[in-house]
Amino acid sequence: MTVRELDAAGIHDPALRAAYARCRTLNARHGKTYFLATRLLPVDRRPAVHALYGFARWADDIVDDLDSTATAGERARALLALEAQLEEGLRRDRATEPVIRALSDTVRRYGIDHRHFTDFLASMRSDLTVGGYASYEELGRYMHGSAAVIGLQMLPVLGTAGPREEAAPHAAALGVAFQLTNFLRDVGEDLDRGRLYLPAELLAAYGVDRERFEWSRRTGARDGRITDVLRAAASHNRAVYRDALPGIAMLAPVSRPCIRTAFVLYSGILDAIEADGYAVLHRRAVVPRRRRAVVALDGLVRAVAVRGVRRRRGAAGAGAYVTGPVRRRTADAAVPVREEAV
């Protein structure tokens, strides 16, 4: 966390500054796409985003770290301890753990609904006992807590150009779209954890089952029916991105370049998966560095332009956007993003 970001956000207490710095480190280590996009936000909003994602990454590590030797029972106890610490931070303002302290400060500053964190931890707990889902409907109930609420947590920080409740469904959809992309990219690693986030009804529609996926992961052999399942999952994922897309224009203009960049980069993972022949059971698909650089540069140009307009309009113009309580089309864009006026 840079001194400039912390100063701009009005975070002056040394212990609290160190807590936010810890969250920034977690976000940078685990979420390269999110971290890159966050750099396009105004400096005063970046610490809050790092706190939200830092907490999510920390909880996710408890559940998913393949390098950990912790048993399921030990992971469950760690989640319970985390929930108790969160309770102390959110309701009693007594957090001592740095990540919880930064998160609690962000929640208070932006008036974020505590239920989003309750729902999130419920989904994290289910990962310790649930290894698969029968249908997209069943998976959707899990993803409400694991993904949709992340978008809803972010919305007060990003700000909206109109009523927040109108943007909320699109923010939730974007969280789900990002996670569906993770599920597709990481299907092999998730099988190693004993989980498959592709619904059984989808597999059955193409004449395969979970055992066939595990066979392919174990042997390295390919099956055209598995490729068909993965292709169908990617198509479903793109439809969710389309549902989320109108929400970008509903955000405060200063936040649009950040979310647009995350949208293009993350949906671009689907292009990388397709280009690699849907070989996700055997290797991870990645967006080429050149493409990431092009998209990031485009986002930076947009961010600078918006901030220039904001400065010219003065503080009065900035007040028109709802925050806390008190495309141009590019050649390699995965999903067309319409031009937003600034």
Q: What pLDDT, in 10s, does the model give residues 30-39?
A: 766 777 788 8
Alpha helices (runs of H) in the chain, residue ranges in sequence order: 3-8, 14-30, 32-38, 46-64, 72-92, 98-110, 115-126, 136-143, 149-158, 164-185, 187-192, 200-205, 210-219, 224-244, 256-275, 289-313, 315-318
Residue 312: per-residue pLDDT = 61
User: b/e per residue, 249-278, with b = 16+ CB within 10 A?
Assistant: bbbbbbbbbbbbbbbbbbbbbbbbbeeeeb
Q: At 297, is the pLDDT very low, low, confident or very high (cuts 50, 70, 90)?
A: low
Q: At 293, is the pLDDT very low, low, confident or very high (cuts 50, 70, 90)?
A: confident
Q: How much is the pTM? A: 0.86
What are the structure tokens assigned to 13, written together? 């207490």
Model confidence over 101-143: pLDDT tens digits?
A: 999 999 999 999 999 999 999 999 999 999 999 999 999 999 9
Who wins on pLDDT, 182 or 70? 182
Who wins on pLDDT, 43 or 72? 43
